[in-house]
Amino acid sequence: MNVKYDAEADVLIFSMRDAPPCEAISKPSGVIISYDENAELVSIEFLNASKQQLSSASSN
pLDDT of residue 33: 98
Burial class of residue 34 (count of CB atoms within 10 Å of its CB; 0-12, 13-18, 19+): buried
Asked whether the predicted pLDDT for residue 59 surpasses 60, the reply is: no
pLDDT digits (tens, 9 = 90+) for 8-46: 999 999 999 999 999 999 999 999 999 999 999 999 999
The pLDDT value given to residue 53: 75
Mean pLDDT estimate for the chain: 90
pLDDT tens digits, one per residue of 45-55: 999 999 987 76
43 and 20 Cβ atoms separated by less than 8 Å: no
